[in-house]
Amino acid sequence: MATSKPADALTQHWTDRLPGAWKPYAQLSRLDRPIGWQLLVLPCWMGLAVARTWGGFRAEDVTYAAAFLLGAIAMRGAGCTYNDLLDSDIDAKVERTRGRPLPSGAVSPRAAWVWLIAQCLIGLVALSVFPRLAQLVALGALPLVAVYPLMKRITWWPQAWLGLVFSWGALVGGAATTSQFGALPLESLALYAGCIFWTIGYDTIYALQDREDDALIGVKSTARLFGKRWRIFTSLFYVLALSGWMSAAVLAGASWPTFLSIGAVGVLMVRPMIRSIDDNNSASALAAFKMNGWIGLAIVTAMALKPLAELLRPELGANNG
């Protein structure tokens, strides 16, 4: 049985050229919706950049960044597969999700479990390149990941739990730069807090699409909790996210271009994004949600300014000499 193309999938994507039997697995992993793995890898890159503020990037950071990318794609796919296995009954009742591979019957539960294990193995390969502390910190997220799909059934704040999970890479990025156990930099913790608030903000926006269906089937979300005041609360979480990112930059000893860039993200990207959402048009919420990929990339760039300058400084000194 073929699955329909999800409304939030890219209209053209390389997965469209896959053999018909493979496409449902690509959809199960949301490979045609790259915004998910982008939002997962961005905190990892932020964490690496913040931790390298003093001393600059190192050669191994290229390997770390690539491993973060591979791990994010694999583990986001595994997480989506696991989520769909637990939520297939709910997905069948929601207009936006009833065409997914499991509720539509395109993939059997047994095949989905095999696919889940395969993706986890890819994630382990990516994890193997990191120092031991980073590996242990990364594995610490597994209990949070395991219970996340249940949160929408028992709390109005599943977005906060998602924040704990999706922001974990900020801690792994910091742990990748140190070999001292229990010595995560304070700036990594501040960055983690900022990313949690960011996730609550953008996932509330994402949940705006499903408010009516969620109310009918009893699924909870901050979008439903905030009601008509969602814009005020979401704006507050973005302010807290920007504050967390700014605090991380201060603690790391960043320079003024970083602070200026973070402020510009708030004024030039976050504020217009929130204002663009129309309560009567779910497509505007989806477009705003996807904008967060660019917001996160802008923050990564801001955090990378000082370590890039530190990296280039010896070369500039040598050229001047």
Domain locations along the chain? 19-314
With tokens 């959809």, the residue in question is 27
Q: Match domain 19-314 to its CATH number in 3.40.50.300, 2.60.260.20, 1.10.357.140, 3.40.50.10320.
A: 1.10.357.140
What letter does residue 268 receive in the DSSP assignment? I
Q: Over its length of 321 residues, how does the chain's per-residue pLDDT go in tens digits?
A: 444 555 566 666 777 788 888 988 998 899 989 999 999 999 999 999 999 998 899 999 999 999 999 999 999 999 999 988 987 777 777 777 777 888 888 889 999 999 999 999 999 999 999 999 999 999 999 999 999 988 988 999 999 999 999 999 999 999 998 766 567 889 999 999 999 999 999 999 999 998 888 888 888 999 999 999 999 999 999 999 999 999 999 999 999 999 999 999 999 999 999 999 998 898 999 999 999 999 999 999 999 999 999 888 765 444 444
User: Measuring CA to CA, which residue among 173, 6, 29 is closest to residue 94?
Assistant: 6
The whole-number pLDDT of residue 269 equals: 98
The whole-number pLDDT of residue 213 equals: 82
Helix (H, G, I), strand (E, B) or coil at 242: helix
Calculate the CA dihedral of residues 261, 265, 268, 271 and round it to 10 degrees: -150
What letter does residue 269 receive in the DSSP assignment? I
The whole-number pLDDT of residue 132 equals: 92
The whole-number pLDDT of residue 93 equals: 73
Give 131: exposed, middle or buried? Use CB within 10 Å, 0-12, 13-18, 19+.
Answer: middle
The whole-number pLDDT of residue 19 equals: 87
What amino acid is encoded at 33 in this protein? R
Residue 321 makes CB contacts below 8 A (sequence gap 6+) with none
Round to whole Å and give the CA distance between 252 and 232: 30
Q: How far is CA 165 from CA 149, 158, 194, 239, 320, in A?
A: 11, 11, 13, 20, 46
Round to whole Å and give the CA distance between 120 and 45: 21
Q: Count CA atoms within 13 Å of residue 46 on its CB side.
A: 38
Q: How far is CA 33 from CA 59, 76, 255, 258, in A?
A: 31, 11, 35, 30
Report how far apart the first and last C-alpha atoms of the chain are (Å, whole number): 69
The whole-number pLDDT of residue 299 equals: 98
Q: How far is CA 41 from CA 22, 67, 115, 220, 313, in A?
A: 25, 10, 21, 26, 28
The whole-number pLDDT of residue 124 equals: 96
User: Between 282-320 and 256-265, two packed helices, what is the crossing angle to 10 degrees?
Assistant: 170
The whole-number pLDDT of residue 15 equals: 77
Dihedral sign, CA of 215, 202, 171, 188? negative
Q: Count CA atoms within 13 Å of residue 315 on its CB side.
A: 6
Give me 16's structure tokens. 């469209």
